[in-house]
Structure 1
Amino acid sequence: MDLKQKAKIKWVVDGDENTSFFHAFVNNQNRRNKIHEKWLNRPKIRSNRFKKLSQEASSCLELPFSVEEIKNALWCCGSDKAPGPDSFIFKFFKTYWDLLKNDIMSFVRSFELRSNFSIGCNSSFISLAAKTKDPLSLNDYRPISLIGALYKIVAKTLSIRVRKHIGTCIDDVQLAFVEGRNILEGPLMTPYLLVIGQQKNVFNLARILRCFHVVSGLKVNFNKSKVFGIGADFEEVCRWAGPLGCAPSSLPFIYLRVPVGENMNRKKAWKPIIDKFRSKLSLWKAKSLSFSGRMTLVNSVLGKLPTFYLSLFPAPVGIIEELEKIQRQFLWRCDYEKQTVHWVAWDKLKAPKEVGGARVGSIWNLNLALLAKWWWKFKTSPQSLWAQIISGFHNTTNRPWYCFAKPKRSGVWSSIDKIKNRFWKMNIEVKEILNTHDGGLTWRSDYVMDGKFCVAKLRNRLDKAHHPVGDGEFWWLNSVPKKMTSFVWRAKQGRIPSAEALERRNIPVTSPMCGLCADQK
């Protein structure tokens, strides 16, 4: 069986398993898998243009681990993540840190001395997580390695150290996994990046990628790559894709979970978000949760699902209304095609807690706050690649500081520039969000905390602009279960399904009398 697997012959006939032909296939397979000397001595590229770590950064990476570093790395790990072969979750180590601290540090010191782990400490489980709704093959699964807790503590500590210095030796074109860079900068630049495709250019690109593979040992996965044609016939795109060995495709397409080449003013472009919203806020979940639990889930889904879309595209009014309709129906446990009693007005639920609301959160205001953050990033990071591309395309250096794009232009960045009109309708000036400082040398904003733009602070400002007057602040105490505070909040407004309230809404009741005190009220 072992030789049969090595030969990788699936059509072998009984009786031919031990022939010279069979062994020739085994030997050929071994030759293909063998690492030859030419791969051990890879060619090198010598250039002074490559970025390197400074001597100071290199020294910092080689310092012994401190107790504070190990504790910080431990607290950065999720407390209840799936355990590895050792069956320990990080909540155990956090709870008994004072008791286990010395043993953990002994393990870390052993790793520093020997540069390897003891047998069994780096064992792991491989778990397959489905990437699609109905997986049919291994390609539809994502392998996840469940490693032991001690191994992960060391790995997390190393990653935190490397994160502080890795940005100095990585080129600006790498947007993900580098502190201070945003993966969404990629889709923002994509409409401005075009490659003039000719057959000879495709062959040259294939040669360049081959040389890159030989020099670095890193091979491009063409199974995950596609060739797109803009203003080109599909047959021509197929000819371009042939030398590269990847599949041809066409616009629109999904890049980093956001659509590229799609008209985001059309409802069908937002269908993935609407479908995910509806699946996460399904009726069976609503029936098994209390009112406070439903409010928590509504806020949780709002904060996670549509962030990629809302961070790049101004949502049309119809999409906002559709998403809020799903929220309302889930909150009041009604079928999506039926009507039911909504005990509290939606504007009251969205209002900030400072004015007596429940702070469910406005999707409209979240969208505006996320988009306004790009204004701050554009002005404060002019050296970044995406800002240079947009500045050159829109010629912003010769325009007033509050003009971020050319007028009468279309595209993602032009749409972000046009949200100024929405702020003006709310009596909020652009200079409140972003303004010059020190004679135009620097920039300031009322919504910056610790040097970073705070989306939550601007969103809260927008919520208050929509709800300037309320019933007064209601104290949502964390020490009191939310189920109780939400009930008191509704009772304070007379918005609970009492017999009197049901009668007032023409809903038949068995008796208007209280079952405890026999009082009609």
Structure 2
Amino acid sequence: MGKNQGGIAILGDFNSITTPEEKSGGGDMSLSSMTAFNLFIGDNDLVDLGSPMYIVPQKLKLCSHKLVQWQQSNRSNSKKEIETLKARLEEISTTGICGGIEIHEVESKLEKAYLNEELYWKEKSRVKWLREGDRNTAFFHRKFKVCTMGNKICRLVGGNREVVSSQADIARVAEKYFTGIFSSTNQVDLEPFLADFESKVTAFMNRRLQKTVSDEKIKRSTFSVHPQSAPGDDGMTVKFFQFYWDIVNEDVTRAVKSFFEGGRILKSFNHTNICLILKVPDAINMSQASEESCDRILELLESYESFSRQKINLSKSAIFFSNNTPDTTQEILATTMNITYIGAQDKYLGLPLVINRSKRATFNSIKDRVFKKVQGWKKSLLSNGDHQILIWAVGEAVPIYTLSCFRLPDTLLKDIHSISTQFWWGQHGEKRRMVWISWDKMTRPKSEGGLGVKDLRAHDLALLGKQCWRLIPQPNSLLARILKGGYYRYGDLLSVDKGVLPSWGWQSLLQGRSVVEKGTI
């Protein structure tokens, strides 16, 4: 046993191994022996210095040090290089030097320096919807500054309402919070809860799950992640592993396989930065507005807490009552459950709980969200081509979830079109600009002289038609059974009318059905 600078090294013949790969020849080592040895290593916070999982982070750390040394020795700074090249180009132009070849060389170097500067800030901004190559350096730089400010935790409020601001105190409060929510305080027997569950994993499925992971599957998984995603503590994003896969693939593959074979992962592999506070998934329960139903719901929540060992946060829960429930009943039941009740103006998953008679008033918040998003960007930071990309990323993406559920008024969609059009022509704030091309021409395909911008009115009908089409081959889905019980119990989806007192969701779906009918003719 050796000790150096606070670290302890344990050497010797342990008569055991962590994975089958460590043994050559002879009989197979028992699984129980390897499991016990791995538990010993994990329980004592030890690290196998020869394990593939230890080798990978050590090589990454060494690579990071080498990159820092290379940067310091090369002094690569594209911004300074741009200034130097611009000064040289100005010198050639003002002195009247006849050097066509030199001018061409300086211009080529300057173009490359601009691209390197833009690429540098794009990598730091982590913008995924816009590519480099269009002189958007200022935009990427601004995005990086905004993200840096938004991702920085300046202070936290602890459990006893203490406000901390130092890095050490912030780390202490965060660690205490996560330790609390991931610690169990109510150990119960789970067998009664599992007694009525049917086994869904067949023997064949189990064998497939236990198969040795292949090299190809590891590579496919690595390349399925966006290059700018999943940065580690060392700053290495997935792009590093994808770009240098021919170099790192053997070490990475061995490390992944060692996890699946030994069942152990180094704690450093799970080190991450705090980005989101996890919460329990949302759940909806519908029942009669009575004290008996409330008692039953509370029993179910208590059973869920015992089974999942997760505490329900009643302060973040809510009750919604139908219009025919008396106000006194609402107050009594909400008090009994100690849960706040909400009104028709509130939303769930971004959708309104109640659709008012005025559809425009109900969905007008979508237009406000698009307007705020678009006005948040400065036109001067983006090229004309990138305006179109931003229109796709914001003007079309923000309302898409609502469009797939409800038919929005044409007047509202026209206002959203107007916001996109004004942004395209350079409006900022309340100052409007002249629109030189109609919206109909902008929505034409590029092959026909348009910009290829989507018409949200047609897009709305297409998404609703897709929802309708999904219900036909899936008649046993929850949504299909609810709609069938309410509107076409003795008929089929393609022939039924809207019925009596139809909801706006059902009416919207029927408008999407018209698209399906046209496609089936």
TM-score (norm 2): 0.59
Structure 1 283/49 Cα, relative in aligned 2: closer, same or farther at 3 Å? closer
Residue 420 of structure 2 aligns with an amino acid whose one-letter code is Q
Compare 266-275 and 289-298 and name the one that shifted more. Answer: 266-275
> What's 1:361 paired with?
454
1:236 aligns with one of 307, 329, 341: 329
Structure 1 50/400 Cα, relative in aligned 2: closer, same or farther at 3 Å? closer
Alignment of 1:208 with 2:300, yes or no, is: yes
Preserved CA contact (<8 Å) 2:404 2:463: yes
Deviation of 1:311 (Å): 0.8
Preserved CA contact (<8 Å) 2:228 2:237: yes
> What's 2:378 paired with?
285
2:485 aligns with one of 379, 392, 403: 392
Distance 2:390 2:239 in 1: 24
1:125 aligns with one of 235, 260, 273: 273
Preserved CA contact (<8 Å) 2:228 2:239: yes
> What's 1:91 paired with?
239
Distance 2:497 2:313 in 1: 37
Spell out the pairing of 1:92-107 with structure 2 (5 A cutoff): 92-107=240-255
Compare 211-220 and 61-70 and name the one that shifted more. Answer: 211-220
Preserved CA contact (<8 Å) 1:286 1:333: yes
Deviation of 1:299 (Å): 1.5
> What's 1:316 paired with?
409
Distance 2:518 2:183 in 1: 64
Distance 1:301 1:229 in 2: 34
Preserved CA contact (<8 Å) 1:283 1:335: no
**Structure 2 unmatched runs, 5+:** 1-158, 163-181
Residue 364 of structure 1 aligns with an amino acid whose one-letter code is R
Structure 1 362/406 Cα, relative in aligned 2: closer, same or farther at 3 Å? same
> What's 1:116 paired with?
264
Deviation of 1:403 (Å): 3.1
Alignment of 1:55 with 2:141, yes or no, is: no
Deviation of 1:258 (Å): 1.2
> What's 1:432 paired with?
518
Alignment of 1:348 with 2:441, yes or no, is: yes
Alignment of 1:224 with 2:316, yes or no, is: yes
Residue 196 of structure 1 aligns with an amino acid whose one-letter code is Q
Structure 1 354/284 Cα, relative in aligned 2: closer, same or farther at 3 Å? closer
Deviation of 1:364 (Å): 0.8
Preserved CA contact (<8 Å) 2:345 2:354: yes
Distance 2:246 2:334 in 1: 59
Structure 1 119/319 Cα, relative in aligned 2: closer, same or farther at 3 Å? closer
Alignment of 1:417 with 2:503, yes or no, is: no
Residue 298 of structure 1 aligns with an amino acid whose one-letter code is I
CA distances 1:318-366 after superposition (whole Å, capped 9, x unpaired):
1011101101110001246444332323221111223222111111111
Q: Percent identical across equivalent pairs?
A: 23
Residue 143 of structure 1 aligns with an amino acid whose one-letter code is I
> What's 1:268 paired with?
361
Preserved CA contact (<8 Å) 1:85 1:125: yes
Structure 1 120/381 Cα, relative in aligned 2: closer, same or farther at 3 Å? same
TM-score (norm 1): 0.59
Report SS of the residue matched to 1:227. strand
Residue 225 of structure 1 aligns with an amino acid whose one-letter code is S
Deviation of 1:284 (Å): 5.0
Distance 2:364 2:331 in 1: 29
Distance 1:9 1:103 in 2: 46
Preserved CA contact (<8 Å) 2:395 2:420: no
Residue 97 of structure 1 aligns with an amino acid whose one-letter code is W
1:303 aligns with one of 396, 405, 421: 396
> What's 1:70 paired with?
218
Structure 1 10/348 Cα, relative in aligned 2: closer, same or farther at 3 Å? closer
CA distances 1:126-168 after superposition (whole Å, capped 9, x unpaired):
13xxxxxxxxxxxxxx4389xxxxxxxxxxxxxxxxxxxxxxx
Aligned-CA RMSD value: 3.1
Deviation of 1:42 (Å): 4.5
Q: How many residues align?
A: 342
Residue 326 of structure 1 aligns with an amino acid whose one-letter code is I
Deviation of 1:278 (Å): 0.8
Preserved CA contact (<8 Å) 1:329 1:336: no
> What's 1:195 paired with?
287
Deviation of 1:404 (Å): 6.3
Report SS of the residue matched to 1:45. helix
Report SS of the residue matched to 2:352. strand
Q: By percentage of residues, which structure has more helix? A: 2
Report SS of the residue matched to 2:347. strand
**Structure 1 unmatched runs, 5+:** 1-7, 12-32, 128-141, 146-175, 177-182, 424-429, 436-521
Preserved CA contact (<8 Å) 2:468 2:512: no
Preserved CA contact (<8 Å) 2:314 2:338: yes
Alignment of 1:143 with 2:229, yes or no, is: no
Preserved CA contact (<8 Å) 1:227 1:241: yes
Residue 95 of structure 1 aligns with an amino acid whose one-letter code is F
Preserved CA contact (<8 Å) 1:350 1:358: yes
> What's 1:130 paired with?
none
Structure 1 78/311 Cα, relative in aligned 2: closer, same or farther at 3 Å? same
Residue 443 of structure 2 aligns with an amino acid whose one-letter code is K
Residue 363 of structure 2 aligns with an amino acid whose one-letter code is W
Distance 2:483 2:294 in 1: 27
Residue 289 of structure 1 aligns with an amino acid whose one-letter code is L
